[in-house]
Amino acid sequence: MIDKTISNAQAAVADVFTGATLMFGGFGLSGIPENCIKALLEKDITGLTCISNNAGVDDFGIGLMLKKRMVRKMISSYVGENAEFERQLLSGELEVDLIPQGTLAERIRAGGAGIPAFFTPAGVGTEVAVGKEVREFDGKLYLLERWLQADFAFVKAWKGDTAGNLVYKGTARNFNPMMAAAGKITIAEVEELVPVGELDPNQIHTPGIYVQRIFQGVNYEKRIEQRTVRKV
């Protein structure tokens, strides 16, 4: 069994280059690869295309990469929590491709499955359909969408073993499994790294074949994007 363990986040992102296309797992701030993002912030790279469900917040997650002007283009489905994102978009500094959330998920899944394109009804008759093929099936119109793949996919899991097998916890599972399959190089950070054989094979969400590098993360903040409480 190949040991895919790498020492830390800095070593894991060492070969990420200017102009690369990156995927970041997570939904809001849940399940984001915090350590990898912090390590990327230490690098002198620009012109990145970032594929993520959202753009983080101004002072955390991908929002910090936007603030440092590392990102050239964002491919996302929701960006409403980031004022700096809005400013760069409106000023023309940032290229943005907003995609319906289900379509984004399926385009990433298709990239991991080796399916170059598929048809979906989402977006027909809207700005999303501009420049894309529309075809009728059984009396209904469908829009052609292309797969999404990345040079590097950054995912975060609850547990992982040295062979790269991953287990996610709760809603932190979100976009992480499909992105793990769609990256040419997938880098996984985990809260707990265990030897091969300690994970129940029936509980593994991402098989190690999709992961090239894995390390145990540190100092997770696990922020809550919007905390909502009720009066007692």
Instruction: List per-residue pLDDT tens for the chain, 232 residues long.
Output: 799 999 999 999 999 999 999 999 999 889 999 999 999 999 999 999 999 998 888 889 999 999 999 999 999 998 777 888 889 988 999 999 999 999 999 999 999 999 999 999 999 999 999 999 999 999 999 999 999 999 999 999 999 999 999 999 999 999 999 999 999 999 999 999 999 999 999 999 999 999 999 999 999 988 877 788 888 7
Structural domains of the chain, count: 1
Q: Model pTM?
A: 0.93
Looking at residue 74, its pLDDT comes to 95
Residue 165 inside a domain? The answer is: yes
Contact 4, 200 (CB under 8 A): no
Contact 31, 54 (CB under 8 A): no
Tens digit of pLDDT for each residue in 7-46? 999 999 999 999 999 999 999 889 999 999 999 999 999 9
Show the tokens assigned to 74: 């964002």
Looking at residue 148, its pLDDT comes to 98
Q: Compute the distance between CA of residue 111 and CA of residue 209 in angstroms, rounded to an integer.
A: 16
Looking at residue 83, its pLDDT comes to 87
Looking at residue 223, its pLDDT comes to 82
Residue 125 inside a domain? The answer is: no
CATH number for the domain harbouring residue 183? 3.40.1080.10
Residue 225 inside a domain? The answer is: no
Residue 126 inside a domain? The answer is: no
Q: Compute the distance between CA of residue 40 and CA of residue 70 in angstroms, rounded to an integer.
A: 9
Residue 183 inside a domain? The answer is: yes
| Phi, psi values for residue 143, rounded to 5° | -105, 135
Q: Compute the distance between CA of residue 182 and CA of residue 200 in angstroms, rounded to an integer.
A: 24
Residue 58: what residue type?
D
Looking at residue 85, its pLDDT comes to 87
Show the tokens assigned to 117: 């394109």
User: Which residue, 171, 49, 31, 182, is CA-closest to 107?
Assistant: 182
Residue 160: what residue type?
G
Residue 224 inside a domain? The answer is: no
Give the range of the structural domain holding residue 171, as residue numbers without chain letter: 9-116+147-216
Residue 19 inside a domain? The answer is: yes
Residue 46 inside a domain? The answer is: yes
